[in-house]
Structure 1
């Protein structure tokens, strides 16, 4: 029986962090089921969902924990695969709107009210064509319960602003 773990790794943005992390997981014959790695503000962050055999678990956790000598923090969370939802649709959302501090909060609230989870979200501020004014861009991967009416989701989000450009499509 394998162990399913969610690894959260944060630390300084050292060269080769991705390689060290991926190689350590691989050396212990763990399977990476899903992962996200990012560099922001001089920091490195990774979230990995892995599966590892009981025989390799102790060595893997020991090797990853030893990374703290370089200022890296590693957190291990055991995952129960039976607890993961299996009746979901994947959606992609792309949104551009006038910059507003509450936009991400409002979108998150509207999605949550419809039992839609955000798997991954990227936000950015971009210049508007011709005017150079600031626009806010949101790209998100979403998990929606099967049978979710995408038109209703779209209408609810579009109600936030008349100047909003939105695309929601199957992902």
Structure 2
């Protein structure tokens, strides 16, 4: 194995054009340029595992309170992240190491949340259904099946045949 092959194994190129999560993180109690609670410093990023990303963020960044506000599951992480960065580029914070931080006023923050909701892919899970709904639905299906079975299993001679009139 030569050094290029080893490098290729160690540093596999990451394909972000696949399903995963887009997250919205907030640096709590950090209010950007305007003192008070007018601006919210947020990060729009992508990850296959947002909680692990948050843990890595806490280990690698200066100490600050950062929390995940919202995550959405999408089919193409890079495309959606790029679109969101472009849409909110006027809010972008000019940092040396990152282009993913934004200062949002209250209206812009609502707009970001709306954009996340519009792009959310809903992944259905049976655990979201209440158990009573599942049980009553199953009982209803059995009842409908029983009634349908009885109606279709009646003998053919039970159908009333029209009588012929005999003519003389």
Same-fold status (TM-score > 0.5): no
Question: Which structure: greater helix fraction?
Answer: 2
TM-score range normalised by the length of the shorter chain: under 0.3
Q: What's the TM-score, normalizing by structure 1?
A: 0.25
Q: What's the TM-score, normalizing by structure 2?
A: 0.25
Question: Which structure: greater strand fraction?
Answer: 1
